[in-house]
Amino acid sequence: MTKILSLLGSTGSIGRNVLEIVRQFPGHFKVAGLAAGTNIALLRDQIEAFNPSFVSVADDNLARELASSLGVRWNEKIFTGQEGNIRVATLKDADTVVSAIVGAAGLMPTLAAIQAGKNIALANKETLVMAGDLVMEAVQRHHVKLLPIDSEHNAIFQALGAGRKKDINKIILTASGGPFRDKDMTELWQVTPEQALNHPNWDMGKKISIDSATLMNKGLEVIEARWLFDIPVEDIEVLIHPQSIVHSLVEYRDGSVISQMGIPDMKIAIGYALSYPERLKIALPRLKLNSCPNLQFFAPDFERFPSLRLAYQVCRKGGTLPAVLNGANEVAVEAFLAKRIRFPEIGLVVAETVSRLPREEVKDVGTVLDADLAARLQAESVIEAFSMKATQ
Ligand code: MG
């Protein structure tokens, strides 16, 4: 059966990989809508190749520019901003929404898609980090499927097929450890955004590359896993695995450990999330275990990478704190990329912001958005204080 997709974040790293799969399997997928940000040159190519009915871009100027290059019939088919993302996420024709916008901006469109009865292929982990309880409740209420694209969660989802939930002992998320795995604290103060963006195994966007370098990405993934699989955070472990071949594992109570392995290419996880339970014969190099014999696993170093520990603490405390953690981290990562703060200060800004804001119960999505906004403002003032100190 052909699936009709709406793709949020079509010009990002995940979005481009999704469209590569659509291109390889034209009988399996059609594209109803594409939502992008500012890369309208690439969006234009995607529109010509995949013929969506509607698209969305960041703002009105970009919409006018795109419409004038596509022709007059597009005037009514280009939406803008968050409202535009939500319209693409809820298109009548689409049965599946791929949520691959970066950051907190993914929450509202994804929630709207669930409420409109769409199945979700989820790459935007912030949706679950910020509002996991609300989102999973909406998934149940609207009887939709939510399948993870995040490679670790996709691996766990696959490994969970080997046993019953009550027999799970723990789940183990693997982490590459990022480009600074072996750097000591003094060296970490010197690293540049360019070095941090240079991930050893995965080709990813800027935000997630920095998050991988601080291990905050893994912290966010712990919170994501807690909600997605309804597992207590105490039963979620993180292991550094520099080769990124074992994508994550589930340990059952009899001592059996089931993992999913593969080359580090997002198309495997994306293909599985899109076509489950069918498996697509994707054109990719095969994993050859005899050519990667030294698979290593280490415990993470919480001293050099304190963001991971903070994410665990925040996950345990719950309420609005995961949304605060996430909002503060987004602001801190931007500040690091703009060279306003140094690498270890990303984690310090997030920790300081979390300590300054109260934990509140999540009553509705409004509470979550308020916490996100408060975190951003607070993080900005922490960053200003840090940069004042640096120039003194
Ligand atoms: Mg991941």
Q: 348-371: per-residue pLDDT in tens?
A: 999 999 999 999 999 999 999 999
Enumerate residues 6+ apart whose C-beta is below 8 A from 233: 222, 223, 226, 312, 315, 316
pTM for the whole structure: 0.96
What does the alpha-carbon distance between residue 175 and residue 12 come to, in Å, rounded to a whole number? 21
Mean pLDDT value across the chain? 96
Instruction: Dihedral sign for Cα 154, 106, 333, 385, please.
Output: negative
Distance 150 CA to ligand 1 centre (A): 5
Residue 116, Cβ neighbours under 10 Å: how many?
17
What kind and span of H or E run contains 347? helix 343-356
Burial 7-35 (b: 16+ CB within 10 A, else e): bbbbbbbbbbbbbbbbebbeebbbbbbbb
Q: Per-residue confidence at 48, pLDDT binned at 50, 70, 90?
A: very high
The predicted pLDDT at position 392 comes to 64
Centre of ligand 1 to C-alpha 208, Å, is: 9
Query: From ligand 1's centre to the CA of 298, what distance in Å?
Result: 17
Instruction: Name residue 338's amino acid.
Output: A
Name the amino acid, one letter, at 365. V
220 Cα: distance to centroid of ligand 1 (angstroms): 9
Beta bridge partners of 146: 120
Domains by residue range for the chain, with CATH: 3-148 (3.40.50.720), 153-262+287-391 (1.10.1740.10)
Residue 315 buriedness (CB in 10 A; 0-12 / 13-18 / 19+):
buried
What is the CA(213)–ligand 1 centre distance, in A? 12
> Residue 200: which pLDDT band, with cuts at 50, 70 and 90?
confident
Consecutive H or E run containing 378: helix 365-391
Cα–Cα distance for residue pair 131/200, rounded to 1 Å:
31
Q: How far is the CA of 64 from the centre of ligand 1 (A)?
A: 35
Query: How many angstroms is it from 387 CA to the middle of ligand 1?
Result: 31
Instruction: Tell me how far apart the alpha carbons of residues 177 and 173 are, in angstroms, rounded to a whole number.
Output: 12
pLDDT in tens, 328-350: 999 999 999 999 999 999 999 99
The first and second tokens of residue 27, run together, are 């009988």
Neighbours of ion ligand 1 (CB under 5 A): 150-152
The span from the CA of 339 to the CA of 131, in Å, is: 30
Q: Give me ligand 1 centre to Cα 79, in Å.
A: 30
Helices (H), 6-150: 13-24, 40-50, 60-70, 81-89, 107-115, 126-141
Question: What is the per-residue pLDDT across 299-338, written as a single tens digit (0 to 9) for each?
Answer: 999 999 999 999 999 999 999 999 999 999 999 999 999 9
What percent of the chain lies above the pLDDT cut of 90? 94
Q: Residue 147 C-alpha to ligand 1 middle, in angstroms?
A: 14
Residue 87: band (very low, low, confident or very high) from pLDDT cuts 50, 70, 90: very high
